[in-house]
Structure 1
Amino acid sequence: MNTNSFKLAAAGVLAFTAFTGLLAPATASAALVTGNATISIDNTAFSTATGGWTVDNFFDASFNTTAITGSLAGGSSSTTNMLFPVNTNVATVSYPGNRTLQATTMDSGNTAVGQIGLSGALTMTGALGDLFPYDFKLAKFGGVWNLVTFDTSFQNTTFLQLANAVESVDGSGQLSLSGDLIFGGGMSPTTASSIFGLTWSSFLGVQIANQNLVVGHLSLTPAAVPVPAAVWMFGSGLLGLLGVSRGKSKAAA
């Protein structure tokens, strides 16, 4: 490449860098939480902590409007890396069959308020028969992250809590969260939004032998932020311009 071509290429790179810098905000602003939660349950530990209860089936987001029963077909028996997408609705949506789609109202910059709605459902079996945790959300109560279910009869009920939680906000203003799942102290969202402040520990009909026994793991990863189309168009044009310049250089030689 001759001197003129090199100068043109260097100028193009500087222009591209400056252009993308203008498109990217100097300081990322937080926004409503997006992404996917991945949950894994260790049934050996879960059974130990609950006196024999196990999580048997996972029903993904395609079952959001379906009444969950012990005889419902179509779920997965794997309890590893279950995908619970973050809901995009900002108001809770009610469906027949006692189902709701929990809203996402939490801003990534303030996780002390609001909630993160999650799509997905589980079935459990134990001494009392079948139980169905569904219509999940993540929310903080007293500084502790809680995985909460909702039912029109029992309303908001804490299923599990996060221990060793790690949260951060990335350069795009999106929340990342991870932690171990335990039964914890059985903290209820609020007595005003729960029937008698019940938790899933109460439903199981046993005294949780070890509230701090890790029974699973949860990780929340943000949705990918797409690169603006203008950046790709500008970059393609720049590469084309450099190609033409290189062609001219070869012809001149």
Structure 2
Amino acid sequence: MLSPAKILDDLQASDPGRPRLTWYDDEPGPTQGERIELSARVLANWVAKAANLLQDDLAAEPGTTVGLDLPTHWRAAYWALATWSVGATVVTGDEAIESDVLVTDDPTRAAAHGGDAVLVTLAALARSHPDAGMAPNAVDEARELSTHGDVFTPFADPEAGDVALVADGASTPYGALVTSQSPWGPRPRVAVAAPLPEALTATLAAWCADGSVVLSRGPAAGTAARHAAEGVTATYRAAH
């Protein structure tokens, strides 16, 4: 079984310094115009910290559901990888708020959640969520994530039949989560503009071919000039 954790290890072994995720935020709002670039080494560091938080502080493990109430975003990518690193289940869409652990950028939903919640600030350089006081029992990711370790060792690994992703009511097991996209060829540079669950699976497909992704959201996503500047070799758009 080719797991997301194994893919991340392979990316680091292949070339830890090569950009693997480039993020553009074109959505109107406070983060509009951000461009973030993550190498395999930097991405693995974010994933390890988030996975340690999930496992050590929130007791996440195989069978735990982790709701990602986040837009398509670079932060959602490392939270998904962290969830898969502990062997838990990523839940997206409306079902996310019913999960054991809720990872959200909405302080109202974080405060209302009956279980554990992590409040995420989307801005790249944030040191705390501006409205963290509205959800005093939630983990303020921007304030607390940096205190967790840079190396992660799971207590348990998922089985191939364990559920890895729940999206639109459909479940995908770990054994079927990573699929190759042969038309992309080796080491593709894939531009991805899609809802979160599709963006996550497309990103995994690019990485399993030793490639990278240009992830974006907003009205300017997918312009020809940007694709040319980023060396894009393939594109992935939402199926519907």
Q: Same fold (TM over 0.5)?
A: no
Q: What TM-score does the superposition give when structure 2 sets the normalisation length?
A: 0.25
Larger-gyration structure (1/2): 1
- Of Structure 1 and Structure 2, the greater helix share is in 2
Q: What TM-score does the superposition give when structure 1 sets the normalisation length?
A: 0.24
